[in-house]
Amino acid sequence: MERMFYLAVIACFIISCSNNGDNKNEITESQAPPMDISEFGFPLSEFDSEEGQVKRGDFFTTLITRLGASQSDAYALTQASRNVFDLKSIKVGNEYKAFYTREEEPRLAYLVYEDTRTKFVTFGLHDSLYVRVNERDVCSKIRIGEATINTSLWNDVSAAGMQPLLALRLSDIFAWSVDFFGLRKGDSFEVVYEELYVGDRFFDIGTIHSAVFTHAGRDYDAYRFVQDEVPQYWSEKGENLKKAFLKAPLSFTRISSGFTYSRRHPVTRVVRPHTGIDYAAPTGTPVMSIGDGVVTQRAYTSGGGNQVKIRHNSTYTTAYLHLSRFAKGLAVGKRVRQGEVIGYVGSTGLSTGPHLDFRVWKNGTPINPLKMESPPADPIKAANREFFAAAVRQSKQLRDSLVSIQYLDTMLVKIGIEAAALTARE
């Protein structure tokens, strides 16, 4: 009975809509109002419209006067915008819609500026002058997704019918435990997550409730739980997935050269040790510090080009070579956080192409970054263990319910196809 009740709850709330995070207005897809005259707060059918994008060099006054507003109305709207919307935040490339009266000489009645995917600003000039900021409803849909790796995480997520952005979110969650540069054919994952929509347009990946990533024959599980008001991911045993060091200092590329004591240098042609890992990546790819630490070097060297060194603690030091440029504000003595961008991939120094040469020292001795064991962060606190165990059980129930719904949907489609075929024969 408990399982059937839970299944019913999931079926009812598989789609929910909220405005500014408020869940009071929960509706289903069939009840959702169409994007019609109420969207912008005035009857669209009474006006002609024109769409466009903000051009380089456009200010609010130049844009709205070009669309037909008088200088006095433009000035009045500028004054009305104070404490409502910062006109300096209007961005090049953002879309707008201008609405005109249906008269012998049409007049600009409204200008709607699309500030973000969820927020738009209406400038009214028709019956009265006003500026109004509106938030669109964001709908969440709970999904269960799975895929097997054949080519790459990004490609296989898309091939399985999921949003590619999910690949980035999964790599963030498992960044400390799964080597995404060493994914193998046959690796797989299953994930329970939310997709966010504005109307019928995908907006973003929402909460990931749980996931299991199978890599090299080993399962890595992740359950979302909030401890000390911070949402994090943990294994079923209560181990924090976040560790002292990231597995890699950048995202989604390939290893072009490994850790060895006898590599022929591609420029000098001299055989000598290469005590680091080369990651091939496009110029400008952000490079992150793999852990908290203090910058001990930010300089150009003849071999390593633009180079950053970071001392993480009394044991570990890392270096990032051949950068095209350093991150803004980076300086020797600055404390950086794990995942903070410290520079960008380049080909400075002795380099044949854009890549990152990443190095790690343990107690002053170079070690292979791919074999470095990273200590975990703090586990679930004793006072939270019962709450965490309950959260894991709920996540599993949610997963099982979604699988049941998916199965029912498949069976209904199959029954529908068979019924249609039977009807056609008759």
State pLDDT tens for residues 153-190.
989 999 999 999 999 899 889 988 887 877 889 999 99
pLDDT category of residue 396 using cuts at 50, 70 and 90: very high
Q: Which two tokens stand for residue 409?
A: 């949907």
The side-by-side arrangement of strands in the sheet containing 188-198 is 15-18, 138-148, 188-198, 201-215, 218-227, 230-234
DSSP 161: T
Burial (CB count <10 Å: 0-12, 13-18, 19+), residue 313: exposed
Burial (CB count <10 Å: 0-12, 13-18, 19+), residue 421: exposed
pTM, whole model, 2 decimals? Answer: 0.62
Report the distance separating Cα 222 and Cα 258, nearest Å: 30
**Strand 293-301, strand 271-274: pairing:** unpaired
Residues facing 278 on adjacent strands: 257, 357
Report the distance separating Cα 124 and Cα 425, nearest Å: 60
The distance from CA 110 to its chain's CA centroid, rounded to whole angstroms, is: 34
230 has pLDDT over 80: yes
Report the distance separating Cα 8 and Cα 4, nearest Å: 6
Neighbours of 90 (CB within 10 A): 17
Report the distance separating Cα 390 and Cα 283, nearest Å: 46
Amino acid type, 373: E
Higher-confidence position of 242 and 123: 123
Q: Which two tokens stand for residue 418?
A: 């068979």
pLDDT of residue 273: 53
